[in-house]
Amino acid sequence: MTEIRTIGILGGGQLGRMLSVAASRLGLRCHIYEPGHSIAGDVAWQVTQAPYEDEAALRAFAESVDVITYEFENVPTSALDLLESLRPIRPNRRALAVSQDRLTEKTFLQQIGLRTAPFANVEDEGELAAAIDRIGRPSILKTRRMGYDGKGQVRIGDGPAEWTGAPSVLEGFVDFSAEISVIIARGADGQVAAFDPGLNVHEGGILRTTTIPCGQPASVTTDAVLMAAQIANALDYVGVLGVELFVTPDGLIVNEIAPRVHNSGHWTQAGCAVDQFEQHIRAVAGLPLGDGKRHADVVMENLIGDDLDRVPALLAEPKVQLHLYGKGDPRPGRKMGHANRITQ
């Protein structure tokens, strides 16, 4: 491939924004494609605001860049087919297909020998009762597609079961002692570099904090990193991959994978010389990866909705690195920024 100067990013949220800043530090430039308003566009070389159905806009976007990546995995297939006929897409289509659909994802993970929660496919409401009989209660019904931050999920307890309204998977409830995640990068040459696993705490389905180190023994963190590397290799992956895992007494269970930079990897901005955003840019641009070593302990805290009121206090705190996304309205549940607190 010719030398990469310009990277196209599908999606214009905070992840695209931080990718664009990282690219600019390496002398590269980003072109953002986003149907809505783009907070990534504010810091990028170019922005295209057009729907994913606009073939002319997609074509012009692709022709202006050397490689295409994404910060959002639910890009329609028709748009991806057109873009891929014009420029390489990294991470590849297989990685996207696997992570776009929870059924495909779990099937793939089991095929490569990793453990998932027990699950059943539930095409429609008529199949729900049989699935509950098989998986048991408590369990969680999740839409196969388009779920994030706990959206599209229904907990099934003792009472009558609610339907999600779309094809779903029913997952057995995992009695985990901790939720951890691994952020791993893989280059086009197969080089792999992992960041240390972080401990994740969710509130209302939304990530609240990630703490590094995660407090798990080395046997667990090593397993977690090896599993993430196995997934990346099996997908012939290029870029940064996020892998969320449940820690149980019987070992690690993979919850889900994200084919992109991940909220639980934001701590790397304060903890590592090369953070997850730069690592992703390096991988998709065909540059050597950083090694992922950690030089500080960090607690990353998401600033959600009204947490924005705490910005003056956070600015006054030593050892806090603040990231604000430039979003307008601090609605409840909306991620407005994050704070990386260096704890050691």
- Min CB(147)–ligand AMP separation in Å: 6
Contacts of 258 (CB under 8 A, 6+ apart): 73, 99, 241, 242, 243, 244
Q: Tell me how far apart the alpha carbons of residues 308 and 211 are, in angstroms, rounded to a whole number.
A: 21
Q: Which stretch binds ligand AMP (CB under 6 A): 162-170, 171-179, 211-219, 319-327?
A: 171-179
The closest residue (CB) to ligand AMP is 174
Choice between 230 and 248, CB closer to ligand AMP: 248
Stretch that binds ligand AMP, among 4-12, 29-37, 103-111, 168-176 (CB under 6 A): 168-176
Residue 154 as a binder of ligand AMP (CB under 6 A): the answer is no
For ligand AMP, the closer of residues 140 and 212 by Cβ is 140
Measured CA to CA in angstroms, residue 211 lies from 83, 149, 222 at distances of: 38, 18, 17
From 157, 190, 204, 205, residue interacting with ligand AMP (rule: CB under 6 A)? 205
Window of 27-35, 170-178, 229-237, 265-273 that interacts with ligand AMP by CB under 6 A: 170-178
CB-CB contact of 301 with 272 (8 Å):
no
* Residue whose CB is less far from ligand AMP, 75 or 257: 257
Q: Contact between 168 and ligand AMP (CB under 6 A)?
A: no
Query: What is the DSSP secondary-structure string of 116-136?
Result: ---EEEE-SGGGHHHHHHHH-
CB of 200 to ligand AMP, least distance (A): 7
| b/e per residue 154-174 (b: at least 16 CB within 10 A) | bebeeeebeebeebbbbbbbb
> Where does this chain touch ligand AMP (CB under 6 A) — which range of 14-22, 26-34, 173-181, 228-236?
173-181
> What residues have CB less than 8 Å from 339, skipping those under 6 apart?
300, 301, 303, 314, 320, 321, 322, 323
Residues 60-119 that bind ligand AMP (CB under 6 A): 117
Check residue 174 for interaction with ligand AMP (CB under 6 A): yes
| Cα 132 off chain centre by | 29
Cβ neighbour number for residue 147 with a 10 Å cutoff: 19
Q: How many residues bind ligand AMP (CB under 6 A)?
A: 13
**Single-letter residue type at 129:** A
One residue of 24, 82, 92, 150 binding ligand AMP per CB under 6 A: 150
Q: Does 202 bind ligand AMP (CB under 6 A)?
A: yes
- Return the residue of 34, 73, 105, 179 that touches ligand AMP, per CB under 6 A: 179
Strand, coil or helix: 311: helix
CB atoms within 10 A of CB 50: 16
Q: Name the minimum Å distance from CB 322 to ligand AMP.
A: 25
173 binds ligand AMP (CB under 6 A): yes
- Minimum distance from residue 155 beta carbon to ligand AMP (Å): 9
Nearer to ligand AMP by C-beta: 255 or 340?
255
Q: Name the amino acid, one letter, at 38.
A: S
| Sheet arrangement for strand 153-156 | 119-122, 168-172, 139-143, 153-156
Question: Regarding beta strands 29-33 and 46-48, do their DSSP bridges make them parallel or antiparallel, or are they unpaired?
Answer: parallel
Q: Applying CB under 6 A, which residues contact ligand AMP?
A: 117, 140, 147, 150, 171, 173-174, 179, 202, 205, 244, 255-256
